Every structure is written in C-alpha cells, then in structure tokens.
Amino acid sequence: MTSADPRSRIPRTDTLLALPAVQDARTTLSEHAIRSAIDAAQSRARSGQIAPEQVVPELEAALAGQTVASLRPVLNATGVVIHTNLGRAPLSAAAVEALLAASGYVDVELDLATGVRSKRGVATRAALLAHCPAAQDALVVNNGAAALVLATTALAAGREVVVSRGELIEIGAGFRLPDLIASTGARLREVGTTNRTHLRDYADAIGPDTGLLLKVHPSNFRVEGFTSGVSVAQLAGLAREHDLPLVVDLGSGLLEPDPALPDEPDATTALTDGASITTASGDKLLGGPQAGIVLGDNAIVGRMVQHPLARAVRADKLLLAALEATLRGGDAPVVAALHADPSALKRRATALAEAVGGEVVAHDGRVGGGGAPGVPLHGWAVALPEEVAARLRTGEPAVLPRVHGGACLIDLRCVPEAEDARLTEAVRAAVGAGERKA
C-alpha cells in the first residue's frame, strides 16, 4: 500500500481503542462489541464507502447508538391487549421491581434461617393457591405448552389421551396440539366431530389403554351454529366413574371469573366443576411473565413434580419472582387495559387528535393472545393517513398502530396514560415528516 493510497490514512486499531468515546463505551459494552464496531468502521473505509477521516466520527456514532440488547420498547397502540408479537403481557411495576431484586443472588432454594436447601418456588405456589382456593396444589413451569406436555407425559405416556376433534387446535408459530401430545409418547384418541361432540363419544372411547381425558379451550377461534360440546362438570363425572384424571387446558390464564369476559373459562370454575388439574399460561389474562401454571389435585400435581421432565421445564428465579409479584401486587397492566373506561379513552384520544390533526373514531379493541375470541372492547382511536404507520413503527419511541380500512388507527387502550406526552410527540413527528416530504 503506497503513501498515496487513501487507505493508509485509516486510523490504526490501537489508536481507535484509545479514543475517549471507546473508553466510555467500555462501561456498558463488551470488548468484543467494541472491536466489532471498530472493524466495521475500518472495513467501510477500506472499501471506499467512507473516507478515512470519517472513521472516528462513524465509530463514535456507532458506539453511542449501541445498546446491550436488541429488543426495542414499543408503545402498543393497536388496541390488542395481549399482543403476542409484542411479548404478550407487559409486567406490572411490582413484577419489574421483583425481577431486579431477583437478578442477583437470592434464596430461591435456600432456607436462610437453617442454612439448608429448601424447595423452589414455595412463595409463588402459595400466592397461586391464595388466588385460587379451589386448587389443592400448584406447580409453575416455563410456559403453557410445557405445562400440558408435562401433564400428558406424567399421566399418559404410552397410553391414550381422549380429546374432542373440535379441540385439536393449532397454537402460535404453527405448533399443533396433536403434534405436541404425540411428542410425549401418548396416543391421541379423537372423539366426536369438529362441531359436535357428546358425552357418549368420550364414554365409548374409554378403555384399558386410556390415560386421561383432555378438554382444551379453543381460545383463538369460535365455532358457531349447529354445535354441541361437553362441559367440564359432565366430563368430571365420567372421569371419576373410570378413575381417570381430567386435564383442562385453559390457555388464557384466568384464575377466577371476569364479568368483562363472561364466556372465558377460568381455573376456579373448572376445578370446582371437577377438573383434576388445569393448565394455563402466565403471560396472558393473568398479566404476568411467560409461565406455565398447573393448579389442582394434590396427587396429580405430585406425579408431575416427581416426573424427570419436570426438571427440563423448571421455572427460573426471575420467572418465579415476577409471577409472585404479579399475584401479590396491584392490578397488572393487562387488567387495567381490559377494564379501561371508554369515556377516559375518548378523552385521551380527543386530546391526541387535537394535537396532531387526526380524527377520533369508534374502535373496538381485542383481548388477543387467544383470549376471548371475538369479544369487542369498546373504545376509541385516532385515525390518520395509512402512510403514517410505517413512520411510527420506525420512530423513537417505536409506536405500533393498527392499519385498517386504509387508515392508521392509534388506540390508547394499552398505552399507559403517563406515556401520552411521548406518544403525542412521536405521532406529531411522524405526521410532520410526511408533510415535509410532500
């Protein structure tokens, strides 16, 4: 490389490592991340994409803009409360505080009074039982699918699981219940039809190879018209008659009835009606972290706890801490959003519309996450031109609106009121960017 070659002016790595900006970056970034940023800036200069003199400012800008995690916070302006693509339930302030407290060394499996090992998750189990007295015991695993897999494996591996054809659902990311059950070594015994299943269908299917009866809440769709199903109470009688466990997969995680969601099944009612155990997710209607929650009969839960698979799906300290705090703390954001006052939503939407030049329109939110399919959550939204949506998604802060009917709809149901000022500035910037471009 000759002295006339511009690449000779590219700053050396040791020179760049000594920059004050690099020294400052070491407080938050790893050495690997810093050197990768240096290599990237030098490579752009070597390829001629930038001048050698731009290496230092480009490196400084890159380091200033780097974060240790790639996930970006998003203001959920869709009106969908449990938005799977946005991580489902946002945690309560109490749960966030508990996460921070549990991030260091904690007594997750230690009795500090005696100095000996203790059981994991005792306090979280107690919190669950306090919220669901109908349950004799509780178990927490790492997600809802894991709870159902563990139940099926512990109770029916190598045997038959009797389930209605109308409940053989597909859950998120293409995972199908039949495949999930088959992975446990159990065999599905399908009964009834897609739209109609009767108690006699279950009774006729029970035989010496039956391991359990399974009832699944088809949470993300509804079948209407000429339909028939079997209640938990009816199945419980049949299960007792044949000394079989009845597993009810609720999915959405509602622990007790909610008047706003009258048709959504809950753990308390299912157990009172005779279910042996219920399984559900913690990050849906409960409003907590991703978790699988098992509630029910002492002996059945005990069999699951003792199964070797229980170790593979064990809940970690962060999950346990956040779930306990969700149960013991005040209302989670999910609860507040589900029960938001429409008049308050209209007041906030009107203020936003006046600030950014939008139109206030009636807008029904949704529960989301497979909960209460088709149930409208009456509210309001601010309508703007459809092209504003892309600028909102890529702005700072990132805002996810709903695009529908050729309009960008901003629903404040899931946006904390404390964030209204930031949201207003983000929308104003997105609208203004479009006006300047025009």
Per-residue pLDDT reduced to its tens digit, 129-156: 999 999 999 999 999 999 999 999 999 9
- Please tell me whether residues 242 and 113 are part of one structural domain: yes
- Please tell me whether residues 220 and 348 are part of one structural domain: no
Q: Which two tokens stand for residue 205?
A: 């299917």
Q: What is the reported pLDDT for 380?
A: 98
- Please state, for a pLDDT cut of 70, what percent of the chain lies above it: 97
Give the E-state strand segments of 155-288 in sequence order. 160-164, 187-191, 210-216, 246-251, 277-281
pLDDT at 330 > cutoff 90: no
Write the pLDDT tens digit of every residue in 201-217. 999 999 999 999 999 98
DSSP state at residue 5: S
pLDDT at 4 > cutoff 80: no
- Please tell me whether residues 280 and 168 are part of one structural domain: yes
CB count in 10 Å sphere of residue 196: 15
Residue 15 lies in domain: 6-65
pLDDT band for 173, please (50, 70, 90 cuts): low
**Any domain includes 301:** yes
176 SS3 class: strand
- Please tell me whether residues 229 and 317 are part of one structural domain: yes
**Any domain includes 1:** no
CATH number of the structural domain spanning residue 133: 3.40.640.10
Among residues 277, 310, 330, the one where a domain terminates is: 330
Which class for 147: exposed (0-12), middle (13-18), buried (19 or more C-beta within 10 A)? Answer: buried
Q: Which residue's structure tokens are 């009636």?
A: 362
- Please tell me whether residues 339 and 323 are part of one structural domain: no
pLDDT at 90 > cutoff 70: yes
Tell me how many domains the chain contains: 3
Backbone φ and ψ for 97, nearest 5 degrees, come out as: -60, -40
Distance CA(247)–CA(156), nearest Å, equals 11
- Please tell me whether residues 288 and 386 are part of one structural domain: no
Q: What is the reported pLDDT for 44?
A: 95
pLDDT at 1 > cutoff 60: no
CATH number of the structural domain spanning residue 377: 3.90.1150.180
pLDDT at 3 > cutoff 70: no
- Please tell me whether residues 251 and 278 are part of one structural domain: yes
Distance CA(153)–CA(139), nearest Å, equals 15
- Please tell me whether residues 112 and 233 are part of one structural domain: yes
The full length of the chain comes to 438
- Please tell me whether residues 366 and 351 are part of one structural domain: yes
- Please tell me whether residues 116 and 215 are part of one structural domain: yes
pLDDT band for 292, please (50, 70, 90 cuts): very high
Backbone φ and ψ for 382, nearest 5 degrees, come out as: -100, 125
**Any domain includes 208:** yes
